Amino acid sequence: MNMMTMSIGKRLTIGFGVVIALLILLAALSSIRIGGLAAQVNQVVNDRYPKTVLANKLKIELNEMTRSMLSVLIMTDPGQIKAELQIIEAKNASSNAALKTLQQTITDPTGLDLLKKITTERDKFLPVQASFVSLINEDKKDDAMVKFMFALRPKQTKYYDVLDKFIAYQNKEMDVAGQDSASTAERTKWFILILALAAAGLSLAVAYGSTHSITVPLRQAVRIAKKSGRWRFDQQNRSAYRG
């Protein structure tokens, strides 16, 4: 297909068509890259961060239960003791719900292994805690103190340790996901910039080619017209001279 043999309208149509195609390609590829970035950001916001929040929630509620258990050991008012025991019960229920959510959302092997360890330590902790609460309800505070110091506290420490490991792992995963998102954003910026420059360069090349294919024949036509005009002028002068 020879551009020189085409009409001006077809040349312009092809030229602008190529430019429009390049712009559509730029928009499509940019959309794909931005979609990938959005997916990574979504992972940080809706997956990694909520897991970190739940993991910290488990530790915070364990701290609050510990505070309530220590409080009942020194309280004498039955109403206050009952209120603290209700807090322990509520925190246990909340922790169960958080743990259940984590079990439903965590799928990676390391996270599942740590979650299994949390469940194991929690299953060891809860019966001892229940025994402590029973002693408090029976007003056996001395026995409850011994239970807390020598049975409950060691299991609580192990529970803390595995929670700390799980939180550290989730924080690390969130940091990695955040760094990946930042890296993807930077690559996307340069990708779009390079693609835009390439599209602009190709557009200029197409525009130059299209206009060149139009102006060259026009210049040739002008030269022919000028030559023809001079030839006619010479012929007229010669005729006049002969006359």
The yes-or-no verdict on residue 148 having pLDDT over 50 is: yes
Rounded CA-CA distance 195/205 in Å is 15
Confidence of residue 67 (pLDDT cuts 50, 70, 90): very high
Instruction: Quote the tokens at residue 136.
Output: 């408090």
The yes-or-no verdict on residue 119 having pLDDT over 90 is: yes
Higher-pLDDT residue of 229 and 84 is 84
Is 113 a member of any domain? yes
Write the CATH number for 47. Answer: 1.20.120.1730
Global pTM reads: 0.69
* Each residue's pLDDT tens digit, 7-17: 666 766 776 77
Read off the DSSP letter of residue 138: T
The yes-or-no verdict on residue 180 having pLDDT over 50 is: yes
Domain limits for position 107: 11-206
Is 225 a member of any domain? no
Compute CA distances 82 → 57, 73, 143, 152, whole Å.
Answer: 23, 12, 18, 20
Is 3 a member of any domain? no
Is 20 a member of any domain? yes
Task: Report how many domains make up the chain.
Answer: 1
pLDDT score recorded for residue 185: 79
Compute CA distances 99 → 52, 93, 138, 205, whole Å.
Answer: 12, 10, 30, 62
pLDDT score recorded for residue 65: 94
Is 183 a member of any domain? yes
Is 119 a member of any domain? yes
* Each residue's pLDDT tens digit, 18-34: 778 877 887 887 788 77
